[in-house]
Amino acid sequence: MHDVVIVGAGPVGLFLACELGLAGCSVLVLEREPELGSPWKSIPLGMRGLSAASVEAFYRRGMLHQLLTASGGNDDPGVNPDPDEAAPPRIAGHFAGMMLDPAKVDVADLPFRLPSPALEGMFTSLEAVETVLSERAAKLGVEIRRGITVSGVAQNDESVVAQAGEDEYAARWLVGCDGGRSTVRGLAGFEFVGTEPQFTGYTMHATIADPEKLRPGFNLTPTGVYLQTPMQGHISMMDFDDGAFDRSQKPTRDHLQAVLRRVSGTDVTLSDVRLASTFTDRAMQTTTYRQGRVLLAGDAAHIHSPVGGQGLNTGIGDAMNLGWKLAASVRGDAPDGLLDTYTRERHPTGAKVLDWSRAQVAVMRPDPYARAMQGVIRDLIGTRDGTTYVFARVSGSSNRYDLGSEHPLVGLSAPDFLLEDGTRLGDLMQDGRGVALDFSIDRRLQGPVTGGESRIRYVAGPARNDLGLGAVLVRPDGIVAWAGDRTPDCEAFARAAGHWFGGPAI
Ligand SMILES: Cc1cc2nc3c(=O)[nH]c(=O)nc-3n(C[C@H](O)[C@H](O)[C@H](O)COP(=O)(O)OP(=O)(O)OC[C@H]3O[C@@H](n4cnc5c(N)ncnc54)[C@H](O)[C@@H]3O)c2cc1C
């Protein structure tokens, strides 16, 4: 009997496994694929953009260096010579293929964006992410069994059993991280609702006889969309056929060439196609992320178009949010209702991502209405406010949970406070405990934390930039649970600490 069985060793299942392993849970991961690597996961088709929020998650667990190395080491998400003020981003992202100008991001409007080694998004591959996470999971004592396809799930009040062929795997909790076509989702009776697709998307690695006929980057044309990335022969396309082609047939070279010619309005020739697959913009989400002892995370809980690259980022956010809460439930010291805050916080986040993706699809359609909208959006993202708004959405920095506080920092990811002794908040979060950062002169929070150090690390000292605060309480997932002014209110702190970490510890 394990504490937790995770179905699926994709990036989300592995990230969650590491979180649970870090918290001391016994974890078994069951994965259908016999091997970790695959051409679908390596560059170019496995290329994935990580948002600043995801990069921050790796940083906070001490994995950023490994991820950068595994990703080829060309990206540095922390470039920032000034220790006190965050520079504008180097890449700001896009909305529906319309690129943002990083110089137009108004950093003054993002006051909580402090300098950090994880300030920016970066490009990586699924292979790099999974390799780094698998290695860490192994170090944390997580057991990963590959070549096992889960086909049954049964639960009662005390436990849950995953079935694979004749074998059964029992645990106190089970998390389905088994992707967009999740088996666990269906077996455990989750309701999956949303909207049907408008397009079939294609991603391929091909040899193009005359690549000069295609334009680089995102191209919104009168007949569809195509994207040519800087990697030779790596093309994505969107064909607005209501998703009819997807899964109905295998994409042949002739078919891919015909679609590419149509959406690009050229007579470009594909001389060879090495790998190709299809996807759609079907946008669905489960109505809850928990049914008894079964939970869902990642694509198993929400699917949407990959345009704007948010699926993996949302899944990593799920794993960060769920890990410490489930670990506290396993240990038996979770405050009442803690696990339910997983759905309460992550479902609205997922719903926003689905809508963001729908909004992009709506303006990418090859029709006069969408073209008119493109003009409006271009005008808006030509302004500082418009660019800053879109940047805050795509980087994840505007994602704020409603934790019942009016303080603007509560519910947001914590700024990477730098203490005068050179320690950063990110360094203090590597063991997965909460952090009470006390900037007050008289170390007011020391007393209230005493006795709760197994769950909250107490660190006192002045910060280079304390944003006018006297103290903050940061949850293990990096979210600010409470913020106090220059003279922090110890009782309010103790209440917040008890609320998130349990009474007896504080
Ligand atoms: C073309 C494309 C580009 C994308 N680009 C981006 C991007 O730039 N940024 C971004 O954030 N997102 C992007 N995404 C989305 C991202 O790839 C997914 O959201 C992410 O991989 C989901 O991770 P996951 O772990 O939830 O699921 P998956 O990666 O699907 O992993 C699920 C795992 O579960 C296993 N499994 C399935 N069923 C079973 C079973 N019954 N028993 C045991 N194991 C099982 C599978 O083998 C798999 O290993 C893109 C997607 C596509 C298609």
> 140, 63 in Cβ contact below 8 A?
no
402 in a domain, yes or no?
no
Q: What token pair was written down for 252?
A: 């042949």
CA distances in angstroms from 414 to 84, 317, 426, 438, 481, listed in the order given: 16, 14, 9, 14, 9
Whether residue 184 sits in one domain with residue 214: no
pLDDT score of 90: 87
135 shares a domain with 58? yes
Same domain, 226 and 332: no
- Tokens 């005068």, residue located: 420
Residues 206 and 184 grouped into a single domain: no
375 domain-assigned? no
Q: Per the domain annotation, does 31 fall within a domain?
A: yes
371 pLDDT above the threshold of 90: yes
Q: Give the Å distance between the CA of 179 and the centre of ligand 1.
A: 5
- Alpha-carbon Rg for the chain in angstroms: 23
Instruction: Give me the DSSP letters along 228-293.
Output: E-SSTTEEEEEE-STT-STTTS---HHHHHHHHHHHHTS---EEEEEEEEEEE--EEEES-SEETT
Residue 239 pairs in a beta bridge with 200
Q: Tell whether 34 is covered by a domain.
A: yes
262 and 244 within one domain: yes
- pLDDT more than 90, % of the chain: 87
Same domain, 175 and 206: no
Six-digit token string for 45: 């088709």
pLDDT of 506 higher than 60: no
Residue nearest to atom 50 of ligand 1 (CA): 306
Tell me the residue range of the domain where 480 lies. Answer: 425-501
Give the whole-angstrom CA distance, residue 506 versus residue 184: 37
Whether residue 239 sits in one domain with residue 335: no
Mark whether 265 and 290 lie in a shared domain.
Answer: no
* Cα angle for residues 444, 414, 394 (degrees, 5° grid): 165
- The mean predicted confidence, pLDDT, of the chain is 94
Strands 167-176 and 270-280: unpaired
Alpha-carbon dihedral angle through residues 182, 187, 189, 193, given to the nearest 10 degrees = 20
Q: Residue 249: which pLDDT band, with cuts at 50, 70 and 90?
A: confident
Our mutation pick for probing the ligand 1 site, out of 28, 45, 48, 395, counting the most ligand atoms within 8 A of Cβ, is 48
* Residue 431 exposure: Cα atoms within 13 Å on the Cβ side: 10
Helices (H) and strands (E) in the chain, counts: 13, 24
Distance CA 75, CA 77 (A): 6
Give 422's contacts (C-beta < 8 A, 6+ positions apart): none
Q: Quick check: 51 pLDDT over 50?
A: yes
Total domain count, the chain: 3
Shortest-distance Cα residue to atom 35 of ligand 1: 8
CA of 164, closest atom in ligand 1: 42
Tens digit of each residue's pLDDT (9 = 90 or more) over 194-222: 999 999 999 999 999 999 999 999 999 99
Domain shared by 224 and 161, yes or no: no
pLDDT in tens, 412-458: 999 999 999 999 999 999 999 999 999 988 888 888 888 888 899 99
Contacts for 315 with CB less than 8 Å, ≥ 6 apart: 10, 11, 12, 15, 177, 297, 298, 299
Shared domain for 135 and 186, answered yes or no, is yes
Place of tokens 């992410």: 129
Q: Which residues contact 14 (CB under 8 A, 6 or more apart)?
A: 29, 129, 130, 133, 134, 137, 144
Tell whether 430 and 324 lie within a shared domain.
no
Q: What is the pLDDT of residue 477?
A: 98
Q: What is the CATH number of the domain that holds 218?
A: 3.30.70.2450
Looking at residue 74, which CATH number applies to its domain? 3.50.50.60
The residue whose CB lies within 8 Å of the most ligand 1 atoms, and thus the one to mutate among 31, 183, 237, 312, is 312
